[in-house]
Amino acid sequence: MKKSSFIYGTILLVIVNFLVRSLGFIYRIMLSRLIGAEAIGLYQMVFPFLMLLTTVTTAGIPIAVSSLVAKENSLNNREGVYKVLTIALCIGGTLSLIISILVSLNIDFIITKILKNKSIYYPFLFTIPAISLITFSGILRGFFYGLKDVSPPANAQIVEQLIRIIFVLSYLVYKKPSNPILAATIGIIGVSLGEIFGLIYLVFKFNFKKLNPKKHFLKVYSTSSFKVAGNILYISIPITIGKLVSVLIQTANSILIPQRLIIAGYTSSEAIQTFGKITGMTMPLLFLPFTVTSALAVNIIPDISEQIAINNMEDIRSQSNLAIKLTLLVAIPITFVYAIFGNHIAQLIYNQQDVGKYLTIASYSTIFLCMQHTLSGILHGMGKQVINTINYLLGILIQLYCTYFLIPNPRYGINGFFIGYILSAFVIFMLNMITLKGIIDMRFSIIKSSVKATICSIFMIILMFYSYKTSFLITNSNLLSTLLATLLGFILYLVLLSITGALDIRPIIKNIPSLKSQI
């Protein structure tokens, strides 16, 4: 695959992810303002548990489908492509049904003994329908990504977000519920409703005529269903374990952080509000760079799987180097923006000054999180999901340790969580980088790219600072001045990257017409 083809595919996915994440981000902002920090805290106690329930079916299986479909498609094995999809749907459907039944039978035990909060009974109850919906949607998205057809899953995500936003916000604005439990319940119902419409769209876009193999396709050996199932499980199980641990940590945090904050001297209400501000307000901002890294990961997994199938190591090396370089060029300036303008961003969006303090602290993990995300995608595409999972488990233990032992100490308080979060991201990044360097030759200097991106980011920040002050004097509008400063800073950053040779944007600009035709 040509370098330009990989870049254009990534740009297309970045645009798609930006639209989807923007909708979700706006929704979170409006939701937090409508229902308040306490309701957000209750919502965040339930939502990670929903992610835990769906992790078994959505973490590894869609990635396995994407990888195996890309491999079979590169060999022109149309029968194999759809056999992978069919068996994956059977596996996912069976697992989601079992999980739904087990949860339904043990809901009282879960909310009283595990989550230890009887007030979240109804929010938790309405998570059950979403389990199967999320499972089938994830598998179908993996299928389309494996075929490098990003339009259906992208549009489905937009449909899902729009339905969720319209339903939840319309209800909250019309009814204005003062009960935080009811408000959190409506938010959870919106998740299931959005998933229903997203799944309907994916099924509608699925062209059943494609199931008939074409005669001109190369005849290849038909793999048995048991072997296909084994391949899916071999890829998905390690990834699922890693993701399961991640969601378990989130769930543990939703339980431990408020409890440990109380030990540190917080009241129960203060503990829940602090937890809500971190997970419901700070983290969505922190994860914005994943608009790019998600696009890189989604794009690179099937690409590398294809090259592995035909043993093209040169393209694997080239695409890996390019993905890492692009990640650095995105993560470094965003780290600067969050670290310097964190208070301003939080005040503008949430009108919460302490959220800005949290964002500034958490910003130092941005580079490591982005690199970790991209490196994981590369390793998954190369079939190294086992070592990737081990690296993740080793790093995540640090976060859990800090959450449990540092937060109760009044000297650290909630800062203990951020210490563990940053250290964990750094350790996982380093382990993944060491692993990748042991497999392929890294033909570009990470330090050189980082230095160039840092210098360009400094000039970008200076321009943003002074352009904001000048614009505010003229317009007296905080929002308009911020948007103008951001746009000017972004343009300057791209220009400086081009001047320094950190990124050649001429081929991208030259081929913008062809990119528009794909959107």
| Per-residue pLDDT reduced to its tens digit, 440-475 | 776 666 788 888 899 999 999 999 999 999 999 988
pLDDT on residue 218: 40
Quickly state the pLDDT bin for 223 (edges 50, 70, 90).
Answer: low
pLDDT on residue 509: 53
pLDDT on residue 368: 92
pLDDT on residue 340: 93
For 251-289, what is each residue's pLDDT tens digit?
777 788 888 888 888 888 888 888 888 887 888 888 877
- The alpha carbon of residue 11 and the mean position of all alpha carbons in its chain are separated, in whole angstroms, by 17
Contact yes or no for 165/198 (Cβ under 8 A): no
For 153-191, what is each residue's pLDDT tens digit?
878 888 888 898 888 888 888 877 777 788 888 888 888
Burial category of 511 from C-beta neighbours within 10 Å (exposed 0-12, middle 13-18, buried 19 and up): middle
Note the maximum CA span of the chain: 72
Amino acid at 57: T
Per-residue pLDDT, averaged over 43-72, amounts to 82
pLDDT exceeding 70 applies to what percent of the chain? 89
Quickly state the pLDDT bin for 353 (edges 50, 70, 90).
Answer: confident
Contact yes or no for 293/370 (Cβ under 8 A): yes
Query: What is the C-alpha separation between 56 and 62, in angstroms, rounded?
Result: 11
Instruction: Give 3-state DSSP helix, strand, coil % of the chain, rounded to 5.
Output: 85, 0, 15
Quickly state the pLDDT bin for 214 (edges 50, 70, 90).
Answer: very low
Quickly state the pLDDT bin for 504 (edges 50, 70, 90).
Answer: low
pLDDT on residue 514: 46
Quickly state the pLDDT bin for 9 (edges 50, 70, 90).
Answer: low
Query: What is the C-alpha separation between 345 and 284, in angstroms, rounded?
Result: 12
Contact yes or no for 3/322 (Cβ under 8 A): yes
Contact yes or no for 282/355 (Cβ under 8 A): yes
Is it the case that residue 126 has pLDDT exceeding 60?
yes
Q: Which residue has the higher pLDDT, 132 or 41?
A: 132
Quickly state the pLDDT bin for 323 (edges 50, 70, 90).
Answer: confident
Nearest to 420 by CA among 404, 402, 394: 402
Comparing 77-91, 417-431, 436-450, 505-519, the range with the smallest average pLDDT is 505-519
Quickly state the pLDDT bin for 87 (edges 50, 70, 90).
Answer: very high
pLDDT on residue 428: 93
pTM attached to this predicted model: 0.74
Is it the case that residue 212 has pLDDT exceeding 50?
no
Quickly state the pLDDT bin for 207 (edges 50, 70, 90).
Answer: low
Every domain of the chain and the residues it spans = 3-210+219-444, 457-519
Per-residue pLDDT, averaged over 361-379, amounts to 89
Is it the case that residue 517 has pLDDT exceeding 50?
no
Q: Which residue has the higher pLDDT, 336 or 502?
A: 336
Per-residue pLDDT, averaged over 407-411, amounts to 87
Per-residue pLDDT, averaged over 498-503, amounts to 81
Most confident option among 240-244, 249-253, 401-405:
401-405
pLDDT on residue 136: 93
Query: What is the C-alpha separation between 121 and 107, in angstroms, rounded?
Result: 8
Query: Average pLDDT, whole number, for the chain?
Result: 81
pLDDT on residue 508: 53
